[in-house]
Structure formats: C-alpha cells, structure tokens
Structure 1
Amino acid sequence: MADEKTNAQTSKDVELTKEAILEKLKEVIDPEIGVDVVNLGLIYELEVREDKTVYVKMTMTTPGCPLTMWLLKAVEEKVLEIPGVKDAEIELTFDPPWTPERISEDFKRKLGLM
C-alpha cells in the first residue's frame, strides 16, 4: 500500500516543465530528414496547463508532408509518456510556414548548412 501511495504522490508532485517536454520530444525523429522535431524547428508553441494538459502547436516542413499524421501522433504519444501529464493537445499550423532557418544552430552545423 505504501508503494502505491508514494507512486501516486510522485506523479502528482512531478513538475512539468517546458524544458523536460522538449527533451522528450527530441525522441521524435522526422524519418525523411533524420532530425528530431525540436531541433528541426517544428515546435512553435508549448504550454503546460493547470490541469496537466500539454498543448503543442507545431508545423511540418511542407503542407503536403506525407508523414503529417504519423508525426502528430508520435508527438502526442511522447507527451503522454511523461509522468504527470493528463492529456495532450496537438495543433497543426502552417502559419508561419516552416523554413530551414528554424533548424537549431547545432543541427545546421551538423547538416552542413553553416
């Protein structure tokens, strides 16, 4: 019984931070490009709401990306894996359109874009 109570308290007491969520989202790799959605610059907005719902506004590299539904689902699943998250709301936007300038400086170097 004590272990169950401790686990319940632990999940309630976990502080959900944007940084921790972004780290988890780095596990979602765009299979066509080989770069994660965070370093690729696909995450436009991230919010942790009071009810422990995580809101993510993201885009794709192109409006016709054939992996759109796969990437949206993968982001949702990763967010829901985080202890303490009650729900995930993923919104797709193309405003503003994605450009290669959104790629992180580190990955621009790795991809030879700098």
Structure 2
Amino acid sequence: MNAPFPYDGPEALVPPITQALTRVVDPEVALNIVDLGLVYGVDARDGCVQLRMTMTSAACPVAGLIVDEVETELDRALPPEWKIKVQLVWEPPWSTDCLSERARAFMRW
C-alpha cells in the first residue's frame, strides 16, 4: 500500500498510520489532515514515528488541537513502545495545490 504522503519506514505501518491520520479533522474546514495535504512526511524507524506537517495558515487557531489529536491517534494506532514526534513546519507554505481529489470534490473546486 502506498501512503498518500511522503513515507519512509516499514510497509506494515502504512495502513495504521494512514488510518490514524485520516481520523484527525481540521474543524475549520471539516476535512481530514491527509486530504487537506497538511502531512508533509512521515518517517518511521527505530521505534519512533516522526511526522512533519503544516497548517493551512500560520495563524491557525486550532493548530495545537490538531497536533494533539495527531499524537493521540498515532499513539492509539502504533505499538505502545513507539515514540511519536510531530514537527509543525511552515516551509513550504500550504496551498490549495496540496488538496487531494477528494478534498477538491468536497469543496467543489
């Protein structure tokens, strides 16, 4: 299974990581962070999942909530010994080019 975001790690972890991240919804637009294109990359190795992500705006008022949900959902999906690190980045800046086809259809773009 190919991940819908840049991924480096064991193939067996792609489904649980993807499912966990699609459960995280940006409440401002009612779409999950994967379809919004907020996940810039996931690196899973040596018992640690490192996730690089962004927000649709640097002024996003729910950024902390979304990051907390990402950590919670990954914690539920991964083996208990795995550590989770979420890095919020602003480069490259998010744009509508990041949206999945599903998100474009939802937004009627």
Matched, 1:103 2:99: yes
**Which residue, out of 56, 66, 72, partners 1:71?**
66
**Cα distance in 2 for residues equivalent to 1:58 and 1:30:** 13
In angstroms, what is the RMSD of aligned CA positions?
1.4
User: What's the offset of the Cα at 1:20?
Assistant: 2.4
Letter in 2 for 1:19: P
Checking the alignment, whether the CA contact within 8 Å between 2:38 and 2:53 is kept in structure 1 is yes
**Higher gyration radius (CA):** 1
**Cα distance in 2 for residues equivalent to 1:43 and 1:19:** 15
**Which residue, out of 31, 51, 62, partners 1:56?**
51
The one-character-per-residue Cα deviations of 1:42-77 (angstroms, maximum 9, x if unpaired) are 000101112x21110000000010011111111011
Checking the alignment, whether the CA contact within 8 Å between 2:16 and 2:78 is kept in structure 1 is no
TM-score, length basis structure 1? 0.80
In structure 2, stretches of 5+ residues that fail to align are: 1-10
Moved more, 56-65 or 85-94: 85-94
TM-score, length basis structure 2? 0.83
Indicate the percent of aligned positions where both proteins have the same amino acid: 29
Structure 1 consecutive aligned stretches of length 4 or more whose deviation exceeds 3 Å: none
**Cα distance in 2 for residues equivalent to 1:39 and 1:65:** 17
Checking the alignment, whether the CA contact within 8 Å between 1:43 and 1:59 is kept in structure 2 is yes
**Cα distance in 1 for residues equivalent to 2:56 and 2:33:** 10
**Cα distance in 1 for residues equivalent to 2:48 and 2:96:** 30
Instruction: For residue 36 of structure 2, give the secondary structure of its aligned residue in structure 1.
Output: coil
Letter in 1 for 2:71: E
CA gap 1:104/1:29 in 2 versus in 1, 3 angstroms: same
Instruction: For residue 38 of structure 1, give the secondary structure of its aligned residue in structure 2.
Output: helix
**Cα distance in 1 for residues equivalent to 2:37 and 2:18:** 11
Checking the alignment, whether the CA contact within 8 Å between 1:18 and 1:48 is kept in structure 2 is no
